[in-house]
Structure 1
Amino acid sequence: MEMPVERRQCGSNGFRKRAGSHEYCFSGNATAVMWLMFIAFSVVMRIAVAQGTMFSFLQFSNYDSGLTLLGDASIGQEDLALQLTQNNSGRALYRTPILFTDGSSHASISFQTSFVFSVDSSTDPSSMGEGLTFLIVPDNTTLGSPGPWLGLFNPINGSSTATPNPLAQTVAVEFDIHKDIEFWDINDNHVGIDINSLDSIFAKEASSDMQVVNLTSGHIKAWIEYDGQARKMSVSITPFVATNDYPKPAQPLLVVDVDLSSYVSEYMFVGFSAATGSGVVNHKVYSWSFESTDSSLSDFEDISPTPSPSGPAQPVSQASLFRAHDCGRLLALLLVLVLSCLAF
């Protein structure tokens, strides 16, 4: 017959438990410590998960690129760059989907991304390129059409249209080098924000601190930042400068009020697309960093490891779910709480 469990006071701030022939004494302090450790550990894990996703590619690798490549997309053997086009369209997506909206509140996360790219037609100066995009899409299997579609969308029933398609759930920033009148392009050298359509909700001629930047002039760095709390997106670009690598402009090129939670699902894929027109144009991405969080954009640090075009070869960095130093601070706080309880 199982003996009943007896519970009696043990000292001034504890209790004694008896089960069978065994008797245990727990102090109140020990109990409090155990509860605090449990609560703090739960908080640490919650914050760690909430940190979102962070990854950086200083260069790309054929062995384990961490990317899903569609169409023309490939990794260059010589320069270890992500080549998006050959003579058609290509798309490259980070292999793991990213949390973009909170499952319960449906609020948007914040993110920042930066990358170095180039659009080069030097192999055939008569070739026509279209440009490339940074995109946020719901799947990693769809490839958009070449030409004015930028590898981003496909024409509906073979027709060209700028009518937004809510089912597309696609957000993109286009770096467009061809004026396509069917999509109301402002010129043949512009940056625009696209939502479910190639008719940009806002676009400007490519420039950096009021100086025009030719998108086909060489290596260019772009920054895209979205604050989920302020519901605001900004885009900046700058060309490579021999004396200062890629100086970030003092003022963004584009600043747009937009609530992405209205256009994206809970999990989305991020990456790039590009397309050629006639002939061969190389659209390349040389390095790429991305970070997301459910906090404000102001909490971000600089995650822009983009060496100059002539810099040494660098390995691909590993993906991380949260910042190591943040968890270090949380664990240090947990230790202080435990020691404080034991002191009493």
Structure 2
Amino acid sequence: MSKGLLLIWLIFFFQLVSLSTSSKDISFVFNGFGQSNLSLVGSATLLPNGLLQLAKDSQHQMGHAFIKKPVEFSSSKPLSFSTHFVCALVPKPRFEGGHGITFVISPSVDFTRAQPTRYMGIFNASISGSPSSHLFAVELDTVRNPDFRETNNNHVGIDVNDPISVESAPASYFSKTEQKNVSINLSSGDPIQVWVDYHGTVLNVSVAPLEAEKPSLPLLSRSMNLSEIFSSRRLFVGFAAATGTSISYHYLLGWSFSTNMELLQLLDFSKLPQVPRPRAEHKKLPFVLIIALTVILAIIVMAVLAGVYAEVSEPWEKVCGSK
């Protein structure tokens, strides 16, 4: 075999290997995050029971959780994926709940320039709307931002390079038993299922309570070409959450993802961690107030005892007897 022919054969062989590798579907599932291969940044924390908390319960926090290695989407096929996750947003007692959770696909996990509050830890005021962001997100938003054309504080939205959603709707799901859309309170603290499916050029987003099956009709359905958003097929998938003056505990219970809808693995609800319910803290009296109340109480007791002693010791009572 000539060297030229051998070189051609080697090039052809490596192209076949590359094509085979790039077309391999990727799937994973986490029933709880105790054994997950996630990169946690900012205030994201893995709790002992396998619950993933994205943002701390204080003001102006950001938390990010992404798969450590980027997903290699096939370059020989149209971009597609399906994901199913369970989350819970629990408002902190005595605070208005916010700001929400986003499912994110991005060529980078560098969100150092991102801002909390209404930018949800993935956008910022200076570059929002720029095509160079190469950012796709599905948001579960619990704060109304009129500047972002939001009509309520309980909605689901599709974001492309911008916190202003290209499409959004109040959180609800199509109930098979009632044959109508039923509202969901995202800030109820109860576990909520979310499905995001993208195939061809159609993106579908659905939500439902934990006890419900996947709705037959999606909440959001939009025709879009995500391949135009991403210049690379090596993309990170994960989640972000943020707080502002509004604060919630942002939890993830389980997550399944696949580049092939047919290979999407089911979540095992029996293995999902429980969502804690924070108790309202009782305000403690200041130390000075405690001392003052103690002194006042002591004076009252002494006055009462003095009065009783005076009542008993009246001289005229000893002569005439008590009335």
Bigger Rg over Cα:
2
Q: Decide which of 166, 174, 192 is 1:220's aligned counterpart.
A: 192
Secondary structure of 1:261's partner? helix
Distance 2:154 2:65 in 1: 23
Structure 1 residue 115 displacement after superposition = 0.3
Question: Normalized against structure 2, the TM-score is what?
Answer: 0.71
Q: After superposition, where does 1:204-215 map in structure 2 within 5 Å?
A: 204-209=169-174, 210-215=181-186
1:171 correspondence with 2:133: no
Question: Which residue of the partner structure matches residue 28 of structure 2?
Answer: 55
Question: Which residue of the partner structure matches residue 340 of structure 1?
Answer: none
Q: Decide which of 138, 162, 166 is 1:197's aligned counterpart.
A: 162
The runs of at least 4 aligned residues of structure 1 exceeding 6 Å deviation read 42-45, 309-312
Structure 1 residue 152 displacement after superposition = 1.4
Secondary structure of 1:155's partner? coil
Structure 1 residue 46 displacement after superposition = 5.0
Structure 2 unmatched ranges of 5 or more: 1-11, 175-180, 275-323
**CA deviation string 1:175-203 (max 9, x = no partner):** 00110111111211100100000000000
Question: Which residue of the partner structure matches residue 6 of structure 1?
Answer: none
1:270–1:177 Cα change, 3 Å: same
**CA deviation string 1:139-161 (max 9, x = no partner):** 123243111011111221xxxx8
Question: Which residue of the partner structure matches residue 97 of structure 1?
Answer: 70
1:45–1:260 Cα change, 3 Å: closer
Question: Which residue of the partner structure matches residue 95 of structure 2?
Answer: 126
Structure 1 residue 304 displacement after superposition = 2.3
Superposition RMSD in Å: 2.7
1:260–1:281 Cα change, 3 Å: same
Question: Which residue of the partner structure matches residue 297 of structure 2?
Answer: none
1:273–1:185 Cα change, 3 Å: same
Q: After superposition, where does 1:202-281 map in structure 2 within 5 Å?
A: 202-209=167-174, 210-217=181-188, 218-227=190-199, 230-241=200-211, 246-266=212-232, 267-278=234-245, 280-281=247-248
Which one has a larger percent helix, Structure 1 or Structure 2?
2
Q: After superposition, where does 1:296-335 map in structure 2 within 5 Å?
A: 297=261, 300-308=262-270
The residue type paired with residue 97 of structure 2 is: M
Q: Decide which of 124, 140, 157 is 1:154's aligned counterpart.
A: 124
- Is the 8 Å Cα contact of residues 124 and 279 (structure 1) preserved in structure 2? no
Distance 1:142 1:311 in 2: 28
Distance 2:68 2:193 in 1: 23
Question: Normalized against structure 1, the TM-score is what?
Answer: 0.67
Structure 1 unmatched ranges of 5 or more: 1-38, 313-344
Distance 1:136 1:44 in 2: 27
Bigger shift: residues 125-134 or 175-184: 125-134
The residue type paired with residue 239 of structure 2 is: F
- Is the 8 Å Cα contact of residues 23 and 74 (structure 2) preserved in structure 1? no
1:309–1:120 Cα change, 3 Å: farther
- Is the 8 Å Cα contact of residues 115 and 288 (structure 1) preserved in structure 2? yes
1:196–1:288 Cα change, 3 Å: same
Distance 1:204 1:275 in 2: 21
**CA deviation string 1:264-318 (max 9, x = no partner):** 132110100011122642101110010014xxx5xx1441214158779xxxxxx
